[in-house]
Each structure stands twice: as C-alpha cells, then as structure tokens.
Amino acid sequence: MDVLLVDPSLYTGPYDAALTRGLLAAGVRPTWITRPARPGERQPLPHECTDACFYRRIDSAGWLQGRPRAIAKGCAHVTGMARLLRRIRRRRPDVVHIQWIVVPLLDCAAMALIRRWCPVVLTVHDTVTGKGDGSSWLQRLGRELPWKLADKIIVHTRSARQTLLHKGIPDERISVIPHGPLSLPVPVVRPAARDPRWTVVLFGEIKPYKGCDILIDAVAELPAALRRQLRVVVAGRPRMDIAPLAGRIEALGLGEQFELRLRRLPEEEMAQLFGEADGFVFPYRQIDASGVYHLVRSLGKWLIASRIGVFAEGMHDEEGTLVAPGDVAALARALEHAITTRPRGSANGSLASWPEIGRATRALYEGTRADFLARALSRRGSAWQR
C-alpha cells in the first residue's frame, strides 16, 4: 500500500519515525513529505522514506530572522505545497495522510484539490491548542476547517474524539488510534554525582497552556524547609514571552529552586537531564496527547500531571499523581509528597505497540480507500445515467 504522509516542518520527528516502523511492519510503503534536516540536526526518518520538498533553503538561512523570516517561510510553504500537489497528481498514492496543518487556509485549499485524486486522512494531535501557543495569526485562522475536509480523522484519546464530536464532526469519520512509546536515540544514564535535592523537570516547548506559572505558584506555597529540598528545571524552546515568568520567580524568591534552560536541547543534553531527573511535571491547563509524556513514561520516574487528556486516560497510580488542572494548592501538595517520600515511578505502563498502531492505521487506510473508490464509482454511474 502506497501512502504519502505530510509533516512539512517535521514537528514530530520521533513520532513520525516510530509510526514509520509500525507502518512498514504492517506492509505499508510510507513516504514522508517534509523538510531537510537542519544543520547539526539528526534526520529521524529513514532516507528511503523521505522526500524533503519543503523549506529547502529557508531553514538554513540563519541570517534571516523575525518578520522577514516568517514572510519568507510563508512563501516557501506555497512552493513546497505546489511540489506536493505535483507529486500527488503524478504518483496517485492510495492515501495522503496529513500529520500537521501549517497554514490552514492554504493547506485546506490543497486538501480540497487532493481529495479529487485520492482520499485524505488527517491526524489531529491536539484539538485544544490555539491563541497564545506561539503560532501566527495565519496558522490560527481556519484551524478547524481541515477537520471538516478530511475523509477520516485520527485522534489519540477519547477526550479528543469527544471534542471533535462537539464540533460537529460525524462519529464515523473519527478513529481513536493511541500514541505509542517514544525513546531517545541516545542512552539515558544516571550521573555518578547528582544534586541531592529532589529534581523535577518541566520539559518541552514553553507555551501558555503548559502551566509554568502554575508550577511557580505551587512551589511558592511550599514551606521554606521543603523548598530548599527541591530543584525545578524548566527546559525547552520558549514559544511565549518568558519575562513575566522569570520576573515572578525573582519576586517570589525562588531563584534557588528554578533553573531555566530556554532553548531547544540537543539529544545528548536531554539524555543527561532525564538521567538527573527524579520526576517530571505536567501542570497543563489543556491537552489531548503529549509526546513528552510518551517519551519519559518508560524511564520509571515519578510523574505529576493534570487530570486531563492522555494523563487522565493513560496514567496509573504507580506512575504518579494526577491533580486538577489549574489547582495550585493540589499541585503544591503533590510536590510536597514527592519531596518527602521520594517515590519511584513505574516503567511498566501499558501502551499500544507500534506494530499494533501500524496495523490499525493500515486498516483505516484500507477502509478510507474503499469508501473513496465506491464514491468515485457511484459518481461515474450517475454521470452515465444523465
């Protein structure tokens, strides 16, 4: 089965690579339409499964920054989308599977055209992100339109399915296929010498919905003696204004507790940080699925997360603690328990395997393809009768 998968900006490289393994095991021939690897970046996808037709020059233009870069990247997206359409028109794959929408109005116009040639499957990794997540107004405009255009939609959680149902998407067009486990390509090693404090990590791109401000306020509520036993590392590329968070840390006198690593960490530094961590914290206001959660879940570290989305549906008591989203006092109590008891998490949480995910995804492809061919045959029959 020949399938084109589209992730223009390679937003979720580790997920894409793992899904590729599952699809290959299921007998699907996947080709990823994406961008080239950036300087110093490891390409997570197999070379033979990659067609890097997006952003061929713009990503390597380090001198281009700010608004000019955004405009140039928008123009490059138009060019990349034209290349994608030519490839689909020439190749006529069995299915086109879109992983991420980058510029909704433009991408939707392309989806409408693609559906004339072959069926379109869309994975909605997150139904709840929106204004304030670091995306541009062009990216926010028409965010829900792709949901209405796709022949079939994949989500990772039951709560995401309910969100789409409430938005008017028919039940028969939605399939829940879970997210599988992820792992770093370099080993996580516990350091010989480490900080004696209980170290908790908030990892990933820093966005408003991830609740870093809630975590700051929760640490401030801890008794001073407990705070001195805590180390919080916030690590990831900022996608919001960090100045208010840094100012609040300073105003509350929490400089000794918080370490901010405000950049995209290379894999070796990620592995070192994960080895130092005693636990991970997810004080999210809203979420469907979380790649970071699936990345760290197998490490056996204690998890503290909001009772929403994948955390509410997937976490077990032996893995960590769930708290109400936005509840500063509850988060403080969870931190206090972890600092005083030093719990160990479980690395045995049940997750669907990638071969299972590959088989489920192939079955969805086959059903979507059959429906597309049946509709095409029906249209031809109607044309003969006119």
Q: Any residues with CB less than 8 A from the CB of 356 and at least 6 apart, and which?
A: 22, 180
* pLDDT (0 to 100) of residue 194: 83
Residues 322 and 367 in one domain: no
Query: Quick one: residue 24, left, alpha or beta (phi over 0 = left, psi -120 to 50 = alpha)?
Result: alpha
Query: Quick one: residue 211, left, alpha or beta (phi over 0 = left, psi -120 to 50 = alpha)?
Result: left
Q: What is the pLDDT of residues 85-108, one digit of tens each?
A: 999 999 999 999 999 999 888 999
Residues 305 and 211 in one domain: yes
Which stretches does DSSP call E strand in the chain? 2-6, 29-34, 50-52, 95-98, 120-123, 152-155, 174-176, 198-203, 230-235, 258-261, 279-282, 302-306, 320-323
Number of domains present in the structure of the chain: 2
| 237, part of any domain | yes
* pLDDT (0 to 100) of residue 131: 43
C-alpha torsion sign, points 296, 300, 304, 310: positive
The CA distance from 258 to 248, in Å, is 11
| 117, part of any domain | yes
Residues 321 and 381 in one domain: no
Residues 375 and 253 in one domain: no
Residues 333 and 358 in one domain: no
Residues 90 and 168 in one domain: yes
Partners of 200 in the beta sheet?
232, 279
Q: What is the CATH number of the domain that holds 211?
A: 3.40.50.2000
Asked if residues 34 and 8 have their Cβ atoms less than 8 Å apart, the reply is: yes
Q: How far is CA 67 from CA 44, 75, 107, 262, 380, in A?
A: 29, 12, 21, 21, 48
Asked if residues 280 and 202 have their Cβ atoms less than 8 Å apart, the reply is: yes
| 185, part of any domain | no
Residues 101 and 234 in one domain: no
The CA distance from 300 to 298, in Å, is 6
Domain that holds residue 223: 198-341
Closest by Cα among 284, 285, 322, 329 to 304: 322
Residues 120 and 22 in one domain: yes
For the chain, 386 residues long, give each residue's pLDDT as a single digit of tens: 999 999 999 989 999 999 999 999 999 999 999 999 887 778 899 999 999 999 887 765 555 566 676 777 778 899 999 999 999 999 999 999 999 999 888 999 999 999 999 999 999 998 875 544 555 555 566 778 999 999 999 999 999 999 999 999 999 999 999 999 998 888 888 887 888 999 999 999 999 999 999 999 999 999 999 999 999 999 999 989 999 999 999 999 999 999 999 998 988 999 999 999 999 999 999 998 899 999 999 898 999 999 999 999 989 888 999 999 999 999 999 999 999 999 988 876 567 899 999 999 999 999 999 999 998 887 776 555 55
